[in-house]
Structures are given as structure tokens and as C-alpha cells.
Structure 1
Amino acid sequence: MTPEQILHTFLDHHHRRGHRDAPESTLVPPPGDPVLFTTSGMHPLTPYLEGRPHPGGRRLVNVQRCLRTTDLDEVGDRTHLTVFDMLGSWSLGDYGIAESLRWGHELLVDGFGLDPGRLHATVFGGDDQVGPDETAWRTWTELGVPVEETGDDNWWSNGPTGPCGPDSEIFVWTGDGPPTGTPGTDDRWTEVWNHVQMRHHRHPDGRLTTLPQPNIDTGMGLERLEMVLRGDRSVYEGAGLRPWVDAVGDRWPLDEVSLRVVCDHLRSAVVVLGDGVRPSATGRGYVLRRLVRRALTVLWRDDPSRTLTDLPPGLSGDTLRRFRQRGDIAALRDVLADEERRFRGLVGRGRPIVARLRSRGPLGDADYRWLHDTHGLPRDLVDGLLGGAG
């Protein structure tokens, strides 16, 4: 399936069960929101999950572009991306977890054609405040899907306080040969879909109280689902990442992890730019700047002459289209080129400063802090380009 076919199948499945489209938000939350970026499909729906009536009704579905800085250090593996599309569905005080899991199983098996023998589920096993999720366990057992009980891994929360609850994750076997082990014992089980029972509110003192209405919140990453359906080794073989992998790999020889990091960070930077963010020293602009400079740090390790202007402009246009964005491609490329010039100047100024410090001996934590706070030289740059390690 192409990403477009996956989206159509997912949305149609939920439309036929009474779900209405929830509008997609940009990556930039509205004023007053404490988070820098939209991190999940449920984030814009938080007031409605806490009880406010939604104008679209009690059953909702959408696709939402998301950005997660928490996964930056995991980018480069098979499945993690900084910016990705999240397929989401919600019950706002309507149906329960049994219906959600049954419909989810139906979509994966009948809609997407996954072999039911390659599925495995995990459920919340209980703790000192909440008992085990017996309904989810029973539902999966009736569907013939093996189940593994876990603790915190199957408890979802959006932060230390706020809406939370037990979840059930659906995994697909992506290894060679018949499935073995469980998601907790074999990483060839790949998580594709999470069904959260958002029933509680956690307070600063750790107490849980019951939300005004029990909700179901599900989320499934489009790129990861595409990988599983196509039988690919990683998300970087999918339609959205493949143009970046081909263009970057054709121009510059990089090892696999470095290639993935560069492609992810540059593609993510384009999407962030598409939602109106510009590089700066703080907030969202700093996240964007960090993405671009991390990519350049990897590229310049072997050859400082490499430049982003060598990449074809069609890459940015394809990415904006896939994330349902519009933008001036020439202006976007000008922003990236300007950021590259600024970073090249920073590297040039920083090299003698680091060299002087290094002449006194290995750098310590205090040196790294001084380089960052005084000269704007982050540790990964110092170690990656300026000879600071050791």
C-alpha cells in the first residue's frame, strides 16, 4: 500500500463506524500551550478528553503531523523519526476498550491484510493504584491474539500530571521465520498501534482521580505502519523517506546510521519551516536550528565542503505535499542556506577556541558548559567537528 492508500483505508474504516473528521493542527500549538510542538494527535484534543463537548461529536478520527524531540537520540534506528504522521481515533465518553480493540484488529487483518498470526498485544498488568486491564486481556484472548502483561510500559500519560490511563499496544512480527518470544523479550516485534483508556487525571502529588468521562485515544504512526505492510527493514525505505535517502546517499557517502540521521533531520526541518517556524536561539526556533546543525555536523565530519544547496529543490516540495502543507520552496531553501552560512561561521570561530582548551588537556563538563554558554558551541558540535572529545 502507498501512504495515500493507507490513509484512505484507515479513515474509511472509522467513517463507517460513525467517526467524524477532527481538523488537523499545525506543529505549532496555540498561544498559551506550554509545549513547543504538537507531539500527538490527542494533544489538540486535550480539553475535549477532559470533558468539554467536541463540535464534531463523540467519535473522531484524523491524521496529524507530529514532532517529538524526546526521540532525537533514537533517530537512526529502524523505526524512530522526529517528524511523522500520526493516525488517530477517539471515543469521547462513547464506546470502550473492547470495541476499540476489536475494530483495530479488524482493520489490521481485514483492511490492511496483516497475517493475524503475526500479531501480539501487551496490556497493563496493574499497580498499587489501578488493577490489571482484564477487559483488554479478555478481548485479545477471544480474538486469538497472544497477550503479555507489563507495568509502566502499558501506562500512558502526556506528562507527570494530567490525563492518563492503561493502554494496550499492538505489535507485528517483523523478523524472519515464524514469530518467537514476546514484545518484551524480542525486539523483532514492532509496535504499530496503541489504544489508550484515558480514564484518570494524575495530580502533582501522584494521586489519581477519575475523569468526568472515560475516553479511548488511539495512535498509529503512518511511516511505521507502511514499513510493516511493505515488509521493509526500516521506515527509511518508505515513500516519504526514500527520496531523501536516494538524494543524500547519491551525493555523499555516509554510513547507514549517519544517512538516516541526516535524512530525518533535514526532512523534519522542512516540515517545521512549512509551519512558519524560523531558526532562532530559543524555543521552537532553537529546535529547528538544532535539527539543521546536527545534520550539518554529520555531513561535515568527512568533508566540510558539503552544502545543502546541492540537494534538489523537489525534495522539499514533495515533503510539504505529503504533510499537507504549502510553502515557497525558494524561500525555504534560502532559510536553510542562511542557517548553513551562520553555522559555518560558528564552526570557524569555534575551532581555535576549542584548540586552546584542548591544549591544556581533555575537556571536562565545566569546559563544555563554558563553550555552550559563552560561545554557543553545543557538545555534539565540539566532539563531532572541533576535536573536543578525549
Structure 2
Amino acid sequence: MNTEHLVSTFTEYFEDRGHRRIPGSTLLPPPGDPVLFTTSGMHPLTPYLEGRPHPLGGRLVNVQRCLRTTDLEEVGDTTHLTVFEMLGTWSLGDYDGPLSLDWAYGLLTEGLGVDPGLLHATVHGGDDRTGPDTDSLSLWQDRGVPVELTSEDNWWSNGPVGPCGPDSEIFLWSGEGPPRSTPTRDDRWVEVWNHVTMTHRRLDDGSLVPLPRRNVDTGLGLERLTSLLQGTSSVFECDVFEPWRRLVPPLWQLDETSLRVVCDHLRSAVVVLGDGVRPSSTGRGYVLRRLVRRVLTLLWRDDPSRGVGDLPEELVRHTLDHFRQDMPPGDVRRHLTDEEHRFRRLLDRGRHVLARPRFRGPLTEEDLHHLHDTHGLPSDLVTTLRRE
């Protein structure tokens, strides 16, 4: 099953259950949202989760591209991506959590052929302010799925204030042999689908008040589930990365972790550029700049003559087509090479600055602030240069 088949199976399954498909947005969140990028499918739906009626009703389904800067340091392992797609469903004051979980179980086991014996769930076990999520616990027990109770790990919140509530996470066993242990004790249990029941609102003082209308928000990582269904050892071996795995290794010889980071960051940079962001020193543009510069740092570690200008146009076009973006591939490559030239000039300047007597010993916080504010050298770049 490839990603396109999984998307169609998912959406049709929930459309058969009364959900209306809504279009996914770009990576840029709606006005007023404090996050730099859309990090989940619920971000564009925030007004409706807050109570505004949605024009298509109370049952929705979609596919949303997302970017999470919090996972940048995790990229290179088997499950994390910077830009990924999230399959989502919502109940806006319609059905409750257990029905959502029951449908998820049915899709996974009957629609997608997952062995029920490879599933594990986690459920909110209660804390000093809220009781356990007994409804979700009962659903999983009725289906014969083992359950682990947690507190903080299964309480979802959209920031310090706003809607929040218990969630139930569905895990799929990725190891060899029969499943062992539990999700919090063995990372071979891979989280694939989270179901949040928004029951409360957290106020400025940290207190919780019940919401007048309960919503259900679910998110399933497309590439992560696809890789598990395809039996691959990482998300970087599922079908959406096939062109990258085929074309990048002959171009740049890299160890496996570096190859994953380079493919992920370049692919993510293409998507960010395709959504209209340009490299800069602040905000979204700085995230894009960090992605490109981390790629270049890895490429130049073994061969300074390497450059993003060598990136095959096929990979740029494949990514733009997959995310339905109409930016010309040549424009993408031009922005990447412009950023590469800018980074080379900055490195040359940084080496000269750091060679000054003042910066030859241990650097203080004052030194780092001076290097950033006066010479445009961020601390992570300073660290890289001092390792040379």
C-alpha cells in the first residue's frame, strides 16, 4: 500500500461515516495563530474547535501538511520528519471519543489489514485534577487491545491556555518477533494515531473549566504509518522517499543518518519555498535558512566542493507535485543556491572574525551576543567554526 492508496482509503472510510473532506492548507498558519508553521491538522480549524459552526457540518476529514521545528534534532532516526502529512478527523460537538477509537480500530484492522495483536493503546489514567478516561479504557478492553495508563503523556493541550483534554494514542509494533513491554518502556512501539477529546479549557491561572461542547481531534502520521505497512525500517524508505533514496546516494556519499537528514531537510526546504517563504534572519525565513545550512554543513564536512546546485531537478519537481505546489523548479533551485552562496560568504567572514585574539579562548555569553549582533554569527555557527 503506497501513500496515495492510504490517503484514499482513509478519506473514503470516514466519508462513508458522514465526514466531509475539507482541503488542507499551506504550511502558513491562519492569521492570529502564534506558531510559525502549521504543526497539525487542527491549526486551521481552531475557530471551529472554539465553537464557530463549520459550514460543512460537525464531521470533517482532511490531509494536512505540517512542519515541526521541535523535532529538528530528532530527524535522522527512523520515525521523525520535519515536513510530513497528517491525516485528520474531527467531531465538532458530534460524536465522542470512544466512537472515534472504534472507527480507528476498524480502519486499521479491517481496512488496512493490521494484525490486532500488533496494536497497543495508551489512555489518560487521571491526575490530581481530572479522573481517568474510563470510556476509552473500556473501548480498548472490549476490543482486546492492551492498554497502558499514563497521566501527562495522555493529556493534550493547545498551549498554556485554551482547549485541552485526555487523549488516547494508538501504537503499532515495529520490532521483530511478538510484541513486548509497553509504549513508554519500549520504543519499538511506534505511535501512529492520536485521538484527543477536548473536554476542558485551561485558563490563565492554570485552572480547568469544562467546555460547553466536546470535540474530538485525531491525527495520523501518513509517512509513519505507510512505512510500517510497507514493512520498511524507517520513514525514509517508504515510497514518497523512493526518488531521494535512488538519486542522492550516487551524488553524495553519506552515512545513513546524514543521508536521512540531507534528504529530509532539502525536501522540507522545497516545500517551505513552495509555500512562499524565503530565507531570512528571523521567523519562518530563519527556519528555512537553518534547514539549508544544516544540509550544507553535512555536505561540506567531507567535500567543500559539494553544493545544493547539484540537486537533481527530478527531486524538486517530485516534491512540488506531491504537495500540489506550482512554483517552477528552477526558482526553487535558484533560492537554494543563493542561500548557499550567502552561507559561504558568512563562513569566510566568520573564520576571519574568530581568528582575532579576543575570540581565541573560551567564549562568554557577552562574546556570543557580540558575534551575533555585530557580525551576524549565530551561536550554533560559531560552535561549528571553532570545531574546524
User: Structure 1 residues 14 and 332 mapped into 2: Cα distance closer, same or farther (>3 Å)?
Assistant: same
Question: What is the match of residue 215 of structure 1?
Answer: 215
Q: TM-score, normalised by structure 1?
A: 0.96
Correspondence 1:177-326 to 2 at 5 A: 177-326=177-326
Alignment of 1:1-390 (within 5 A): 1-356=1-356, 360-384=360-384, 386-388=385-387
In the alignment of these two chains, the number of paired residues is 388
Equivalent position amino acid for 1:28 in 2: L
Paired with 1:90 and 1:98, the residues of 2 have a C-alpha distance of 13
Q: In 2, Cα distance between the equivalents of 1:129 and 1:321?
A: 48
1:50–1:211 contact (8 Å) kept in structure 2: no
**Cα separation, partners in 2 of 1:168 and 1:239, compared to 1, 3 Å:** same
Paired with 1:229 and 1:331, the residues of 2 have a C-alpha distance of 35
Write the distance in 2 (CA, Å) between the matches of 1:233 and 1:368: 41
C-alpha contact (below 8 Å) 1:271/1:323 kept by paired residues: yes
Q: Verify the 8 A CA contact 1:354 1:388 in the aligned structure 2.
A: no
Moved more, 300-309 or 248-257: 248-257
Aligned pair in 2 of structure 1 residues 54, 191: CA closer, same or farther (>3 Å)?
A: same
Alignment check: 8 A CA contact 2:67 2:83 kept: yes
> Closer, same or farther in 2 for the Cα pair 1:69/1:215, shift >3 Å?
same
* Contact preservation (8 Å) 1:357, 1:363: no
Question: What amino acid does structure 2 have at the position aligned with 1:247?
Answer: L
User: SS of the residue aligned with 1:337?
Assistant: helix
Query: What is the identity percentage for the equivalent residue pairs of Structure 1 and Structure 2?
Result: 65
Distance in 2 between residues matched to 1:264 and 1:338, nearest whole Å: 20
Mapped to 1, the partners of 2:302 and 2:185 lie a distance apart of 38
Quote the Cα distance in structure 2 between the aligned partners of 1:357 and 1:251: 40
Which stretch shifts more, 112-121 or 316-325? Answer: 316-325
Q: Which moved more, 1:105-114 or 1:206-215?
A: 206-215
Segment of structure 1 superposing worse, 57-66 or 158-167: 158-167
Range moving further from structure 2, 349-358 or 23-32: 349-358
- Could you tell me whether the CA contact under 8 Å between 2:22 and 2:61 is conserved in 1? yes
Shift of residue 171, structure 1, vs aligned partner: 0.3
| Secondary structure of 1:14's aligned partner | helix
Distance in 2 separating the partners of 1:30 and 1:126: 33
Secondary structure of the 1:387 match is helix
RMSD over equivalenced CA pairs, Å: 1.4
- Decide whether aligned partners of structure 1 residues 140 and 369 sit closer, same or farther in structure 2, where only a CA change above 3 A counts: same
Q: Give CA-to-partner distance per residue, 1:67-97, whole Å, 9 cap, x none.
A: 1111111111111111100000000011111
- Secondary structure of the 2:57 match is coil
Determine the C-alpha separation between the residues in 2 that align with 1:246 and 1:204.
51
Once residues 312 and 48 of structure 2 are traced to their aligned partners in structure 1, the CA distance between those partners, rounded to angstroms, is: 43
Is contact 1:169–1:191 with CA below 8 Å preserved after alignment?
yes
Shift in Å, 1:355 = 2.9
SS state at 2:182 partner: coil
1:340 deviation in Å?
A: 0.7
State the 1:361 CA deviation.
2.0
Q: Give the TM-score taking structure 2 as reference length.
A: 0.97
Point out where structure 1 has 5 or more consecutive residues left out of the alignment.
Answer: none
Distance in 1, matches of 2:272 and 2:262, equals 15
Worse-matched range after superposition: 246-255 or 266-275: 246-255
Which whole-Å CA distance do the structure 1 matches of 2:370 and 2:113 have between them? Answer: 55
Distance 1:360 1:341, change over 3 A: closer
Deviation at 1:357, TM superposition (A): 5.5
| Counterpart amino acid of residue 269 in structure 1 | A
- Rounded to whole Å, the distance in 2 between the matches of 1:5 and 1:169 is 23
Give deviations 1:228-271, integer Å, cap 9, x for gaps: 10111110001222322332222112122111111111110100
Report the secondary structure of 2:356's partner residue: helix
What displacement does 1:359 show?
Answer: 6.5
**What displacement does 1:325 show?**
1.8
Q: Which ranges of structure 2 fall in alignment gaps of 5 or more residues?
A: none
Q: Which amino acid aligns with 1:116?
A: P
Determine if contact 1:280/1:289 at 8 Å carries over to the other structure: yes
CA contact 1:297–1:381 (8 Å) conserved in 2: no
